[in-house]
Amino acid sequence: MKQRSPLFKIFAYVFLGLFAIMNLVPIFWMIINSFKTEQEYAADPFSFPTGIELSNYVKAWDIANMDTYFINSFLITFISLIVTVFLGALAAFFLSRFEFKLRGFTYALFLLGMLVPIHATLIPIFLIMQKLSLIDTYFSLILPYTAFHLSLTVFILEGFMRGFPKDMEESGIMDGAGIFRIFWSIILPLTRPAMATVVILNFIYNWNEYLFALVLITSNSLKTLPLGLSNFVGLETANYTLQMAALTIAFIPIVVFYLLLQKQLVTGMTAGAVKG
Amino acid sequence: MHTLKRSKLAIFIGLFPALLIYLGIAIVPIGISFYYSLMDWNGIGAKEFAGFDNYVRMFNSDTFWLSVKNNIVIMITGLVGQLPLGLLMALLLNKGLKGSGFFRTVGFMPVVISSVMVSLIWGMIYNTEFGLLNNFLKFVGLESWQQNWLSDPKWSILSISIAYIWQNVGLYMVMFLAALQNIPDEVNEASELDGATGLKRTWFITLPMIRATLMVTIVYSISNSFRVFDLIQVLTGGGPAHQTEVMTIHMYSSAFVNLEYGYGSAVSIMILLFSLVVITIANRLGKEKA
């Protein structure tokens, strides 16, 4: 890169710096105050804490049922993710590697889902789940999470598998392997890079989902993290530093996840947005 | 493939489970929504055919139009807030300055955390008595600027827009950045030889080069603004007195708070139509220009 004028550099860093401050200050403020007592906070919301007060964390973990919410979010996120990626990969395999009459139609049908706002389906889904007595179970969330993310999953995986050369399956056929064997031991391993994108996308979307959980889950013991957290804050409106501790507990794992998988997350979510 | 008969069965087996779940949960319910929207129904009693009564009621409802207006406010503030800011950041990050990686990481962070967490954080910023914003204003001696950010109808929807922009700028930033990095070096070198530098180059060379991305971000930003729910539901629940209600919230509270499933379904059909119409128009315009 060529040398930039110092004036430009100052200008650039001022804007970038302001932008970073806007993003970081609310987070730092939340984390710092979570270590204060309620009185300390009321006295001065900008001071540094005099000591590290962990009681908020103990209390948040205890009365907010954070452990339950984490376990629920974890199970629902991963079961949906595995089902979505497996069924999506299977569908993508047949859509990309076979010629059949309704191929184009089926593919277009899958893409249609990316245009549908989930809000247009919410009421029927609620009533269907009620009729099937699935309301307030893991299934009531796993089914819609799977259904609504199949479109993007199929789209990304189909595009990737389509790029393989035509004779990719030949060796499998020579060995007399069946179609599903070829899928499992030849195509799937080659699809790994696209699978990583799809897994990360499904993870983050499921982990953060709120609307379906709000409508389909009622018992406290089945709430996911976003739902449980928002309820908890709604109940503890007077307890500011306690809220901050609960939020920080939920914030840390997702930020660690982000920092570890930043590159894949950024490219994946950008691709997801463009296609969605 | 070699054994056509067997592969037909295999194709069916392979596609069936995905299609079943997808059609059953994501597509068929749209039809059911439309069917419900023609019914007068509270979920318990018998459904009564009501024709387009729910739609008539909706179009005569001030609350519905207020929610449409709020959706449009969010759409416009989203467009003029997220896109130019995201583009500016991307242009600066594309200059290969030291620390660019850090700024990108920080910029994209709000996109990764859940909207619920974004709302809860902004709820603490906006809190009248204990919030960051009012306390900061007091700290710098601007007490007269303090507001009830979320409960004063003058400010509430704008406050929500700011949180919405904060949440999404990073996404547009990286979308623009990816497009900028795809511009071949030769283009920049050639323009430099022609004496195009600085702002001139940005305006006449760089922006036309990323026009396709600009269109995509505009369409995405618009269609996204009609899907906002979590942020507002958690921050204000649509209150005070419907002042921050958008169509999705209006649908939710009609159906799941007031138990008017028929009316709620009519609103949900409007949400679908709005997003489809907007996306179609935007795509048309994009194709004509390109």
Q: How far apart are CA A141 and CA B99, in angstroms?
A: 41
Would you state the pLDDT for residue B2? 45
Q: Is the residue at B210 inside a domain?
A: yes
pLDDT of residue A85: 96
| Exposure of B279 in the CB half-sphere (CA atoms within 13 A) | 20
Would B7 be classed as within a structural domain?
no
* Residue A212, C-beta contacts closer than 8 angstroms, at least 6 positions apart: A118, A122, A125, A140, A141, A144, A145
User: A174 versus A94: which is more confidently predicted?
Assistant: A94
Residue of A24, A25, A147 with shortest CB distance to B26: A147
The stretch A160-180 carries a mean pLDDT of 82
**Whole-prediction pTM value?**
0.90
Low-confidence ranges of chain B (pLDDT < 70): 1-6, 196-197, 286-290
Could you state, in order of their start, the residue ranges of all structural domains in chain A? 59-275
Note the pLDDT of residue B3. 46
A203-225 per-position pLDDT tens digit: 999 999 999 999 999 999 999 99
Q: Answer whether residue B100 is part of any domain.
A: yes
Residue B215 at interface with chain A, using a CB cutoff of 8 Å: no
Asked if B180 and B210 touch (Cβ cutoff 8 Å), the reply is: yes
Percent above pLDDT 70 for chain A: 97
Q: Cα distance from B8 to chain A (closest Cα, Å)?
A: 8
Contact A23 B174 (CB under 8 A): no
Q: Which of A256, A148, A243 is nearest to A201 (CA)?
A: A148
Q: Does pLDDT of A33 surpass 60?
A: yes
Question: Residue A4 has what pLDDT?
Answer: 67
In a domain, B43, yes or no: no
Q: State whether A150 and B255 contact (CB < 8 Å).
A: no
> Does the residue B31 lie in any domain?
no
Contact between A116 and A206 (Cβ < 8 Å): no
Residue B21 included in any domain:
no
pLDDT tens digits, A98-131: 888 889 999 999 998 888 889 999 999 999 999 9
Average pLDDT, chain A: 89
Which residue out of B4, B25, B97, B215 would a mutagenesis test of the A interface target, given it has the greatest number of A Cβ atoms within 10 Å?
B25
Domains held by chain B: number: 1
CB-based contact A121 B26, cutoff 8 Å: yes
pLDDT at res. A274: 67
Say whether residue B107 is in contact with chain A using an 8 A CB cutoff. yes
Which chain A residues are within 8 Å of B261, Cβ to Cβ? 123, 127
CA–CA gap between residue A193 and residue A199 (Å, rounded): 10
pLDDT at B97 (0 to 100): 86
Query: What is the pLDDT, as a whole number, of residue A275?
Result: 59
Parent domain of B71: 60-289
**Residue B29 pLDDT:** 94
Structure confidence at residue B209 (pLDDT)? 83
Flag whether pLDDT at A256 surpasses 80. Answer: yes
Closest chain B CA to residue A249: B117
Q: What is the mean pLDDT of residues A191-204?
A: 92
Sequence-separated (6 or more) residues with CB below 8 Å from residue B166: A22, A23, B110, B118, B122
Name which of B3, B13, B19, B22 to mutate to probe chain A: the one with the most chain A Cβ atoms within 10 A of its Cβ. Answer: B22
Asked whether residue B152 is domain-assigned, the answer is yes
Chain A: closest CA distance from residue B278 (Å): 11
Looking at domain A59-275, which of 3.40.50.2000, 3.60.70.12, 1.10.3720.10, 2.60.40.1180 is its CATH number? 1.10.3720.10
Q: Residues 136..175 of B with a Cβ closer than 8 Å to A: which?
A: 136, 139, 166, 169-171, 174-175
B40 pairs with which residues across the strands?
B48
Question: Does any domain span residue B250?
Answer: yes
* Mutate which: A183, A266, A274, vs B, most B CBs within 10 A: A266
